[in-house]
Amino acid sequence: MKKGRVEFWNGNIACAEGAIAAGCRFFAGYPITPSSEILEHMAKRMPEVGGVFIQMEDELAAIAAVIGASWGGVKAMTATSGPGFSLMQEGIGYACMTETPCVIVDVQRAGPSTGQATKAAQGDVMQARWGTHGDHEIIALAPNSPQEMFDLTVRAFNLSEMYRVPVIVLADEIVAHMWEKVRIPDDIEIVNRRKPSRPDEQIFGHELDTGVPPMPAFGEGYNLLVTGSTHDGYGFRKTADPLVHRKLVTRLVNKIRKNAEKIVDFEIYGCDPEDAEVMVVSYGCTSRSADEAVRQALEEGIKAINFRLRTIWPFPEKALRELAERVKLIVVPEMNLGQLYFEVERVACGRCPVILVSRIGGGEMVRPQDILRELRRA
């Protein structure tokens, strides 16, 4: 990284600036705590960078506008929190089916329903994965600092452009409202969607295509048909043909599954993973508690690591399975009553015990000592 510059930002501002750095030039949203500063910042910044900002009438309209903008050839984003994220699920499914690159930021707060609007939680992990109906694969990233609100929003755009999928930045109130230094490199790697090279190219995948087809924009001279119904490579609706549906949806799922190893991103803090005896699996704000717990455990001579997920979906199955072979115990701290915990248990598959450390309500973080207590057991 070159020298770059340093800013003192909260996570929401860092997220908005990351989006702009990645090339986002369209933002549509409906304000909701604790994500509102993203919208507020975009309202100021979009006109400055030649982009478009629209405050929509609700979240249904916000996601629809974002999908439309993306088909207009612009990188587009929206930001919301739990209740709004629920409303966006149908649109997210439409984006999956129509292979529309876009970024949805969900700053998690305590639910269900209106819950505790200003207080942090991590209750949307499974909603990010399965909130929309039907077979689909999604990408969700989990930042743990304002720095990562910037970095992972850039990555979210890059992944969405590369794989033509909606990508979710699964943040939480704590990282969104926390202020820290953010280092912005001079050059940031940007990925742009692949454009078709011929006018007759099938932009929803030709016969033998198993990957990511090219994507034109409206107004570029293509006869574009975009539909959420099952469609062939040209976009023609095929609502009863079993083979077309099978081929399309299998490709949509496989373009993520088969590239999972390239998408997956994690960080390990603590002792040499080869020597680790106990492991924490964490993400988002809770990973900061986990890092502190592991630091204290190391001081006590416990060989511990924190396996921190920066991509939650796809889930880093291979890496986790290998570590589960080696350690005696896995601790999963979450600000919910168990969501990723069950996924970890599925992958550990009896290789070692998996313990959940929960804390919900009032936005209180999982305490390092509560994780440490479990690490001492092994």
Chain contacts with another protein (rule: CB under 8 A):
6, 8, 33, 116-118, 174, 177-181, 285, 288-289, 291-292, 295, 363, 365, 368
Could you tell me the smallest distance in angstroms from the CB atom of residue 293 to another protein? 8
Could you tell me the smallest distance in angstroms from the CB atom of residue 365 to another protein? 6
Whether 305 and 271 have beta carbons less than 8 Å apart is answered as yes
324's tokens: 């589960």
CB closer to another protein out of 34 and 205: 34
Query: How many other C-beta atoms are found inside a 10 Å radius of the C-beta of residue 108?
Result: 30
Query: How many other C-beta atoms are found inside a 10 Å radius of the C-beta of residue 282?
Result: 30
Could you tell me the smallest distance in angstroms from the CB atom of residue 200 to another protein? 54
3-state secondary structure 198-212: CCCCCCCCCCCCCCC
Q: Which residues pair with 281 in a beta bridge?
A: 307
Residue type, 248: L
Distance between CA atoms of 340 and 350, rounded to whole angstroms? 16
363's tokens: 């936005």
CB closer to another protein out of 39 and 65: 39
CB closer to another protein out of 115 and 228: 115
CB closer to another protein out of 149 and 178: 178
CB closer to another protein out of 202 and 296: 296
Could you tell me the smallest distance in angstroms from the CB atom of residue 179 to another protein? 4
Whether 64 and 36 have beta carbons less than 8 Å apart is answered as no
CB closer to another protein out of 34 and 131: 34
Could you tell me the smallest distance in angstroms from the CB atom of residue 45 to another protein? 18
Query: How crowded is the C-beta side of 150, counted as CA atoms within 13 Å?
Result: 21
Whether 114 and 81 have beta carbons less than 8 Å apart is answered as no
* Residue 88: φ, ψ to 5°: -85, -5
CB closer to another protein out of 285 and 347: 285
Could you tell me the smallest distance in angstroms from the CB atom of residue 183 to another protein? 12
Whether 98 and 80 have beta carbons less than 8 Å apart is answered as no
Q: Which residues touch 291 (CB under 8 Å, ≥6 apart)? A: 269, 306, 308
Whether 115 and 136 have beta carbons less than 8 Å apart is answered as no
CB closer to another protein out of 37 and 99: 37
Could you tell me the smallest distance in angstroms from the CB atom of residue 118 to another protein? 5
Q: Which residues pair with 167 in a beta bridge?
A: 103, 139
Could you tell me the smallest distance in angstroms from the CB atom of residue 81 to another protein? 13
**Prior bond to 34 cis, omega within 30?**
yes
